Structure 1
Amino acid sequence: MRAVFGLVGLVVVLAIVGLLAKKQLSATRAPVPALQTAPGAAPASAPPATVREQSQQVQQQVKQQMEGLMQQARPMPEDAAK
Structure 2
Amino acid sequence: MRIAFGLIGLLIALFIVAKLAGRSAQVLTQPVAVPGAPAASQPAGNARQQAQQIQQQVRQQYEQAMQEMQKQRQALEEAQ
TM-score, normalised via structure 2 length: 0.55
Q: Which residue of 2 aligns with 1:50?
A: 46
| Dislocated runs of 4+, deviation >2 Å | 1-4, 26-35, 47-50
Give the number of aligned pairs.
66
Q: Which residue of 1 aligns with 2:77?
A: none
Q: Which runs of 5 or more residues in structure 2 are unaligned?
A: 34-38, 74-80
Asked if residue 36 in structure 1 is aligned to residue 36 in structure 2, the reply is no
Q: Which runs of 5 or more residues in structure 1 are unaligned?
A: 38-46, 76-82
How far apart, CA to CA, are the structure 2 residues paired with 1:59 and 1:31? 17
Cα RMSD (Å) = 3.3
Asked if residue 10 in structure 1 is aligned to residue 10 in structure 2, the reply is yes
**Which structure has more helix as a fraction of its residues?**
2
Identity of aligned residues (%): 44
TM-score, normalised via structure 1 length: 0.54
